[in-house]
Amino acid sequence: MSFVNPFFLFFLPLAAIPVIIHLFGRRRFQTVEFSSIRFLKQLENDVIRRLKLRQIILLILRTLLVLSIILAFARPYRTNFAGDFTIRRGTIVYLILDCSVSMGKAVEGQNLLEIAQNSLQTAFSEIEFPVTVHLIDATEPKVIRDVGFVKNSAHLKRAIDGLSIKPLAAKLDVALQTVMENMEKYPEASVAVWIASDFQKSSWQTSVPTINPLQPFREKLGARFLLLPVNREGYNIGISRIEIPDQIVEAGKSATIRPVLTNWTPGSVESPVSLFIEGERVGQSVVSVPRRGSADISFEWTSQSAGYLSGFAETPDDDLPLDNRRYFVMNVPDSIRILIIGQNLSDARYFIKALEAKNGSRFDIQFTTESQLPAENLRKYDALLFGDVDRIPETFRENIGNFLDSGGGLIVFPGEHCQPENFNRTWSEPFDLPKWRDTRKSSGDSYLKLGSLKSGHPVFRDLWQKKERLENSPRFFVVPGFLTDENQTILAGFDDGTPFLIETIGGTGLILTFATAPNPNWTDFQLTGLFPTLVRRAALYAAGKNGQRTSYFCGDTVRFEFAGTQNVTNLVVATPTGKEIHPRRDKGSGFSFSDCATAGIYRVASGNRRVFSFAANIPESECIGEFFDEGDFREIGDFLPSRIAVYEAEQGNESLPMNLNREYTILLLVIAIIIAALETYIGRINRVNISEETNP
């Protein structure tokens, strides 16, 4: 227990005043003529005991009233936080400094990192040198910079001044874990851990969200902590991410790009946002972002060329300029590599004609039979189309699974040579396709037509109007009945409600299953203009998942590979700063690149030919304006009672204790009022009784 105004405690002896008054004011009995009966009644023991008891109660209440008033003026409070953070000679000091993106927020001409550095320098006056110092940048939490045996504050100042803002996220929990592991080298040493940060919530628990980062320190009684929060209110509208929704991307066709803006400010803001692609502004709009919330804006854009096209979305500068621009790369394929697998080449003729139709993207088509499939290198293809295939060698199923895991797409058509049992054994069980339950057959005027479909799905988006679909639907005479579950999505159905097209997600790729086959005995679907359109769209959609990943965070290791059909030699990665670096060669046809130190577009070239591009951005977590408040710091203090001091870094290079106490002034005032009311009531009863006794 501590006091805000301890001076008033000198008035505590005044609590003896009621006792003194009681002793001096004890009732003096006068000689009064009484009759013998009245005199005997006055001396009854129960009356005397009752009067004495009331007088004792009044004495206690008056004493407590005086104590309550004095303590209320002294303002007592309770805290679990250490009162000071003085570092004794010989202590091992760990300085954890947050150099993440959010620490770049400007406040009155200084960013938060500079304020933190100045506050730490002020706090160095509390160190009794010499001490041993280890420095940790929270954006590189596993790296300890050994400052060594420090004899003065100037040495420490040079060490922390060498740190600067990085386009990375802070990981305070990992830094504390590093401290804990390093402390094992000094089991008997006195340890102090100082943390200067804006204490963004996303930086406190990054590895195991359910475990408090301070948990390991409960048993280390010699470890004490100083927290220096430096967060400030500021104006910041950032772009937290860019969403590119599922869509079919082709040259000459419209594509959607959706930037998401985040607002840190306490009020709603209308912010302009611009979209640039290949250096050209292609869109601009104004979006209203709610208080401490987010909002998105959609841009429609049409590419006139194929390849890896780069761009960025941008908002005007504010207090944190590092999150005002976010980069992206879209792969507009020049050609789609597709492998068709069937019983024989004649069975694949409808598929080949549909994909060869001159309309938009070009398809590089190869054909093989199911018996020759194991000889194929699936990494050469973007999508696989199976027609009338119900058997695949078990040894090759793992290859197909790996193809799906890498983002490849499958299109599966049953056929007249397929048996439901074999089909389910080959497709449903290992790849989670819908189960072929039965087959519906009809003839003459009895047939099925297309029914409902998901018009917003990329395969059907803007394909036709509802009326046209009903009037011009193909006829289906033989229909496999597929049984779906929660792992599959029905994209289109027949008019009786049974599925026509089903999507299954496999790994990072997908599988599209058609409940029909281009067979004259089954349907006239292949004879309509709808067939080539749907087959092409299905192939484009399935292959679109197989593009190499193009979005990374700064600090990530980028991995990319090129199929055997792509002739790449002497690869060079051009960074946003213009520096050229050779990527590292991995096993097979893969490469890796670990120098994403700057946000921007990285271009991979083979000779003078660009073969790949990717974007590196600041972590999304750094764009979210959620920080520790007083309640969070109280929770930390309760976790390690009396071992943590929290000092808020102020402008002017000062550090002041945060008001994180539980004060009892109001409680004491309430108690004083209750005691006063009780004293008044009991005193009044006592005076009435005495009056009755003395005035018979």
Of the candidates 437, 549, 426, the one whose C-alpha atom is nearest the C-alpha of residue 498 is 437
Residue 27, class by beta-carbon neighbours within 10 Å (0-12 exposed, 13-18 middle, 19+ buried)? exposed
Residues 150-169, mean pLDDT to the nearest whole number: 94
**In the structure, what pLDDT confidence band is assigned to residue 2 with cuts at 50, 70 and 90?**
low
What does the pLDDT look like over 25-60, one tens digit per residue?
665 545 555 555 555 555 555 666 677 787 788 888
pLDDT tens profile 431-477: 999 999 999 998 767 899 999 999 889 999 888 665 555 567 899 99
Reply yes or no on whether the pLDDT at 234 is more than 60. yes
DSSP of 503-518? EEEETTEEEEEES--S
pLDDT of residue 691: 62
Query: What's the distance, Cα to Cα, between the start and end of the chain in Å?
Result: 53
Q: Which domains does the chain have, with CATH numbers?
A: 2-79+663-694 (no CATH), 92-231+630-658 (3.40.50.410), 237-306 (2.60.40.10), 335-544 (3.40.50.880), 551-617 (2.60.40)
Answer yes or no: is pLDDT of 358 > 50.
yes
Residue 679 above 90 pLDDT?
Answer: no
How does residue 160 score in pLDDT terms, banded at 50, 70 and 90?
very high
- DSSP bridge pairs for 414: none
pLDDT digits (tens, 9 = 90+) for 638-659: 888 878 888 876 544 444 454 4
Q: What is the pLDDT of residue 327?
A: 98
Give the span between the Cα atoms of 121 and 461, in whole angstroms: 61
Mean pLDDT of the chain: 87
Those residues with Cβ within 8 angstroms of residue 369's Cβ, 6 or more apart along the chain or in another chain? 341, 342, 343, 344
> Exposed e or buried b for every residue in 101-137, given b needs 16+ CB within 10 A?
bbbbbbbeebbbbbbbbbbbbbbbeebebebbbbbbb
pTM of the predicted model, to two decimals? 0.80
Close Cβ partners of 257 (under 8 Å, ≥ 6 residues apart): 242, 243, 244, 275, 298, 299, 301, 311, 313, 328, 330
CA torsion angle 170 176 181 185 (round to 10): 120
Query: For the residues 557-569, what does the mean pLDDT come to?
Result: 77
Give the whole-angstrom CA distance, residue 235 versus residue 263.
8
* Phi-psi group of 547: left, alpha or beta (phi > 0 → left; psi -120 to 50 → alpha; rest → beta): beta
Cα dihedral sign, 365-366-368-370: negative
For residue 143, what are the contacts with CB-CB under 8 A and spacing of at least 6? 136, 137
Query: Residue range 278-291: average pLDDT?
Result: 95
The answer to whether residue 259 scores a pLDDT higher than 50 is yes
Question: For position 661, what pLDDT does the model report?
Answer: 52
pLDDT at res. 147: 94
Of 21-25, 411-415, 613-617, which range is least confident?
21-25
- Least confident among 310-324, 358-372, 615-629: 358-372
Which pLDDT does position 511 carry in this prediction? 95
Q: Which of 206-215, 300-309, 664-673 has the lowest mean pLDDT?
A: 206-215
Q: Facing residues of 325 across strands?
A: 314
Whether the CB-CB separation of 151 and 175 falls below 8 Å is answered with no
Q: Which pLDDT score is estimated for 465?
A: 60
Which residues in 315-427 belong to E strands, given as ranges? 325-332, 335-342, 362-369, 383-387, 409-413
Q: In this model, does residue 21 exceed pLDDT 90?
A: no
Confidence of residue 547 (pLDDT cuts 50, 70, 90): confident
Q: 80 pLDDT band (50/70/90 cuts)?
A: very low
Band of residue 683 on the pLDDT scale cut at 50, 70, 90: confident
SS3 readout for 415-430: CCCCCHHHHHHHHHHH
Interatomic CA distance for residues 526 and 519, integer angstroms: 8
pLDDT the model gives residue 695: 54
What average pLDDT score do residues 2-30 get?
73
Q: What is the pLDDT of residue 660?
A: 46
Categorize the per-residue pLDDT at 209 as very low, low, confident or very high, splitting at 50, 70 and 90. confident
